[in-house]
Amino acid sequence: SVHVGQAGVQMGNACWELYCMEHGIQPDGQLPSDKAVTDDSFSTFFSDTGAGKHVPRAVFLDLEPNVMDEIRTGNYKQLFHPDQLSVAEITKAYIEPPNSMVKRDTGLSKDMA
């Protein structure tokens, strides 16, 4: 699953916490020894690392690091691999047009960038 933006990341985090509770996975991604994977639907949501840790099949994307920091420091911080939590950096090139000239549309009398 792909979770984008503040709302997407926060809802995705809440959903993965719920999935973990439903499947009996601990916040560190470990399955307790008294539980066993009983069906194939488990692998739909989680990847097994081979070391007994289950990692969500998810990617989180946002432009602000604050929302990702909530996941990185939250109860389920050990559940996700750092590569799953991406923050895009905004640079001046994304905000400003390549040239600073403002074109005038005389027919509509509006400034256009």
pLDDT at 83 over 50: yes
DSSP three-state, residue 21:
helix
pTM of the model: 0.70
Residue 5: count of CB within 10 angstroms of its CB:
14
Strand order in the sheet with 2-4: 2-4, 59-62, 85-87
Looking at the chain, the whole-number percentage of residues with pLDDT higher than 70 is 73
Residue 36: count of CB within 10 angstroms of its CB:
9
Helices (H), 24-91: 42-45, 65-73
Mean pLDDT of 85-105: 61
pLDDT at 112 over 50: no
pLDDT digits (tens, 9 = 90+) for 34-71: 776 666 677 788 888 888 788 999 999 998 889 899 99
pLDDT at 28 over 70: yes
67 close to 73: Cβ distance less than 8 angstroms: no
Q: CA-to-CA distance for 24 and 80, rounded, in angstroms?
A: 16
